[in-house]
Every structure is written in C-alpha cells, then in structure tokens.
Amino acid sequence: MRLNLKTIVTLISVAIIGLIIVQMIWINSAIEVRKSQFDQDARNTLIEVTQLIPKVVQQNEQNRQIKSQKKLTSGVTDINALFDAMLDNTPFQKVSDKITSKQIDSLIKAQLQKRGINTSYVFGVYDVNAESLFEQDTATKKYTKQLISEGINLQFFVDNFTLKQPIISIFFPQKNRFIFKKMLFILSISLILILTVIYAFYFTVTTIHKQKQLSEIKNDFINNMTHELKTPISTIQLACEALNDKDMNSPESQQTFVAMINQENTRLSGLVETVLKTAILDKGQMKLKKEEVNLVEIIEQVKSKFSLKIKQLGGDISIASDLADMSFEGDEQHLTNVFQNLIDNAIKYTSEIPQIKISALKTVKDFVIKVNDNGIGISKENLNRVFEKLYRIPTGDLHNVKGFGLGLNYVKSIVELHGGTISVKSTKDKGSTFIISLPIENK
Ligand SMILES: Nc1ncnc2c1ncn2[C@@H]1O[C@H](COP(=O)(O)OP(=O)(O)OP(=O)(O)O)[C@@H](O)[C@H]1O
Ligand SMILES: [Mg+2]
C-alpha cells in the first residue's frame, strides 16, 4: 500500500491527539492518586493527634490539681474561692476546659509538618449535633460548612469523665493548589513534551509541503526551459538542412538562413544567460560595476525599446517625473534589466490594452520609482511569493504566457544589491504597482 502525504498527516494527527488524550487521562489519575494520598495523610494526622489528646488532657489535669491543692492549703477564708477550688476538681467540665484549642492546634501542626503537608488548614471540634465545643475564630467560622460536610473527621476519647465523644474535623482550603504545586514539575514536563511533538510535527509537515511545491516548481521550470530550447534548436537544424540542400543554394536564401541561425543563436544564449545569472546571484557572487548613472535616462531608454510593441497593441506607456537629473551610483546594465523585467511583466500580464505609468520622484533619502499597470493584478496570497525564485502564479486563461519565474527574483536581488527595496501593491483584475526605492547615498 502506498501512503500519500495526506494519509500520513491524518495518521500522525490522530496518533498525536490519541497521545494527548492518554496523557490527560494519566495526569488526571495521577492527580486523583495524589488527592487520596493527601486525604490518607490527613487522616493519619488526626489519628495521631487524637491519640495524643488524652495525654495532654491528663497533663493539664495534673497541673490543675497541683494548683488547687496549693489554693486549699494556703488557708483560704473566702467561701467563694473555696467553692471555686472545689469546682476545679469536679469531673463535669467541658472539653474546652480540659484542653485548649491552641494545644490541639500545635499537635496538628507538628503532625502535619512531620508528613510534609505545609498548606493552610482549619480545624474544629464538635459534638454529635455539630455544635462547636470551642470558641471559633473567624477563619474557622468561615469554613464551618466545609468542616462539617467535607472535612476529614474523627471521633476521639478525651478522658474517663467525658462520656460523649467529641469529633475533630480538619479542612484544607487550598488542598487543590497544594497538590497542583506538588505536581507542577511533572505537569510542565508533560506540557513541554506535547508541545515539542506538535511543533516537530508541524515543522515536518510544512517542510515536506514546501519541498513538494519546490519540486513542482522545478519541474515546471524544466518543462518550460526544454520547450523554449527546442524551438531555436529545431529552427537551426532546419536552416542547416536547407543550407546543405543544393536546390536552395542561391546567395539570397543562404543569407536568410544564416540570419535565421544567428537570430536563434542569440535567443539561445539569452536563455542560457538568464539561467546563469540566477545561478551567480544565488551563490552571492554577483559583482556590480557601479558608476554614475541617470535613472531617468535608463527608464527612458527601456521605454523606447518597448514603445513599438506597446503601440502595436494599441496601448500607452508614460513617464512622469519632474526630475531632470536622478544621478545614482549604480550598475547601468543591471538597472536596465530591472526596468526591462518590470515593463515586460506589465505588458505580459494584462488581458486588456496595456496602459503603463511610470513615475519617479525623490524623497529625503531615496529615489522612488513606481511602475503601474492595468493588468490582471495579483491576489493577496501571491503578493509576497512573486519575488520567489521560479515562482509563477497559475494564471488560468493567460496560461500561454511564457516565462520562467526568474524575472522578479532577479529584480529584487539587484535592487537589494544597490541597497534598495522593492514592494508591490496590487488589486486583482485592476492592476499592479511595483515600487522600487533606491538610496540616494549609495556607497
Ligand atoms: N505586473 C504583473 N501583473 C500581474 N502579475 C504579475 C506581474 N508581474 C509578475 N506577475 C506574476 O508574478 C510571477 C513572477 O514574475 P516573474 O517576472 O518573476 O516571472 P515570469 O514573468 O513568469 O518569468 P520571467 O523569468 O521570464 O520574467 C509571474 O509569473 C506572474 O504570475
Ligand atoms: Mg517576468
């Protein structure tokens, strides 16, 4: 089975989505495990705390007895004080009289620390009717509901005199945050891995896509080139055969055939020149022969070369410039080619009578030359691509327009070698304007 690119992309996309889902399920269950482990730790904390409470209560009791013993033996005369001292010894006190909330708190704190749970908590001690047995501070009051419904709780034994066993409950308001923090490392690694895979995939697909486009463009170019080469070659071949033919050996026809061969040969070398130029540009070996040139003059010369052709088509070409002198330090031959390419395109890519307007002006830093046509225009998505090497817009009904997609790439390179920039503005079916700006100071 031959897999094409689309199938592979779909397969990998499905695989990546699957991986992400599996990863999410896994992370979710890891969070659940952490949560239940946290709850278990909190429960164990409470178990140890409730085992310690009776000891603290006992200790408190001993301390109190020593104190009241002192009171009784220190010769109390006041009857009220005596009564108080006796009450101190009675077994009917409240839980809050036997142990303070602070003492319980420090027991809890120590146990939580032992287990590495260092997040904020609130606790409460209640009777079976969910009535608080301690005076509550504001934090505890705020979380009363959660303490009773969601808190981890445990019934505990106070001492032999307190028959009703109270319930201690503990609640962690920032439990989720604490667990998330603990898992941050593994979560971020997962995220980074997923993003890396997605990016690598995206990169691979775009590269393959680009390569494919490039190979299509190259194929087009080779087809075009062979086609272009074939015509002069066969013409030359025919002319040679004719020259060999004794019947056609009159001096006039000989001259015609030689002229034909010469013309076709010039065309051939022109083609080879174009390709070579691009190769040289590609290698960055293009050297400019800079001299003082007049841009307006160059444009005028190019214009006159095309005048006849445009007249034959019934069109018009005009130059608007109030500058008589646009002296520029540049390579005359290459600059001539630049405008030649632009005007050639302006004539080629139009379905109507060509109306070409060229304007040249001077700003503070640059010479700005605009070449405007009323041609077929360039759609937005192709605007940036026309300067790519070998790129030709598939032109539908203008399909027979010949070209290699090298012109604008060459133009751009030459403009940039002169330190300038080129851009294009265009509306589909309305026309295009190519804007070249060349720096006045060009050393
Ligand atoms: N003035 C224009 N109006 C509309 N489309 C244009 C214009 N100039 C260029 N294009 C589009 O940009 C493409 C690239 O132009 P470029 O001059 O680089 O190549 P080409 O004209 O096809 O071939 P050549 O190498 O012979 O110049 C053209 O194929 C054409 O689709
Ligand atoms: Mg061109």
Using CA positions, which residue lies closest to atom 4 of ligand 1? 377
Q: What is the pLDDT of residue 279?
A: 83
**Residue 160 shares a structural domain with residue 52:** yes
- For the chain, the domain total comes to 3
**Are 92 and 198 found together in one domain?**
no
Which of 272, 317, 349 gets mutated to test ligand 1 (max ligand atoms within 8 A of its CB)?
Answer: 349
The residue nearest atom 19 of ligand 1, judged by CA position, is 405
CB-proximal residues (5 Å) to ion ligand 2: 345, 407
- pLDDT band of 82, cuts 50, 70, 90: low
pLDDT of 130 higher than 80 = yes
What pLDDT is recorded for position 370?
A: 96
Tell whether the model's pLDDT for residue 86 goes beyond 60.
Answer: no
Q: Is 354 in the pocket of ligand 1 (CB under 6 A)?
A: no
User: Considering only CA atoms, which residue is closest to atom 9 of ligand 1?
Assistant: 345
d(CA 413, CA 421): 9
28 plus 52 within the same structural domain: yes
Mean pLDDT of 39-46: 95
Please tell me whether residues 85 and 208 are part of one structural domain: no
Give the separation between CA 148 and CA 142, rounded to whole angstroms. Answer: 12
User: What pLDDT score does 443 carry?
Assistant: 63
- Extract long-range pairs of 345-349: CB within 8 Å, 24+ residues apart: 345/373, 345/407, 345/408, 346/371, 346/373, 346/375, 346/432, 347/306, 347/309, 347/310, 347/313, 347/315, 347/373, 348/401, 348/403, 349/373, 349/375, 349/376, 349/395, 349/398, 349/401, 349/432
Instruction: Give residue 358's domain range.
Output: 291-439
Distance 347 CA to ligand 2 centre (A): 10
Whether the predicted model's global pTM rises above the 0.85 cut: no
Kindly state the tokens that stand for 20: 């992400």
Q: How many CB atoms lie within 10 A of CB 120?
A: 11
Confidence check: pLDDT of 169 > 70 = yes
Q: pLDDT above 90 covers what percent of the chain?
A: 59
**End position of a domain, from candidates 282, 301, 320:** 282
The answer on pLDDT for 66 being more than 60 is yes
Task: Using most ligand atoms within 8 A of CB, pick from 340, 344, 345 the residue to mutate for ligand 1.
Answer: 345
Q: Higher confidence at residue 58 or residue 323?
A: 58
Does 276 share its domain with 328? no
- How much is the mean pLDDT over the chain? 88
**Residue 223's CATH number:** 1.10.287.130
| Rounded Cα gap, residues 304 and 309, in angstroms | 10
Helix, strand, coil percent values for the chain (each to nearest 5): 60, 15, 25
DSSP string, 93-136: --HHHHS-HHHHHHHHHHHHHHTT--S--EEEEE-TT--BSS--
What phi-psi label fits residue 138: left (phi over 0), alpha (psi between -120 and 50 degrees) or beta?
alpha
The last residue of one of the domains, among 144, 173, 202, is 173
pLDDT tens digits for 363-403?
889 999 999 999 999 999 999 899 998 888 876 555 567 78
276 and 301 in a common domain: no
Q: Are residues 334 and 399 in the same domain?
A: yes
299 pLDDT exceeds 70?
Answer: yes
The pLDDT score that the predictor gives to residue 249 is 74
Residue 304 sits in a domain whose CATH number is 3.30.565.10
Choosing from 153, 173, 193, the residue where a domain stops is 173
Q: Express each pLDDT in 345-363 by its tens digit.
A: 999 999 889 999 999 999 8
pLDDT digits (tens, 9 = 90+) for 244-293: 888 877 888 889 899 999 999 998 998 888 888 888 887 888 889 999 99
**Where do we find the tokens 């309305």?**
430
Q: Do 400 and 314 share a structural domain? A: yes
Of the ligands numbered here, which is closest to the C-alpha atom of 387? 1
Please indicate, yes or no, whether residues 88 and 119 belong to a single structural domain of this protein: yes
Q: In this structure, are 160 and 130 located in the same domain? A: yes
Q: How would you classify the pairing of strands 316-320 and 355-362? A: parallel
**301 and 401 together in one domain:** yes
CA of 203 to the centre of ligand 2 (A): 32
Q: Both 349 and 423 in a single domain?
A: yes
* Residue 110 scores a pLDDT above 60: yes
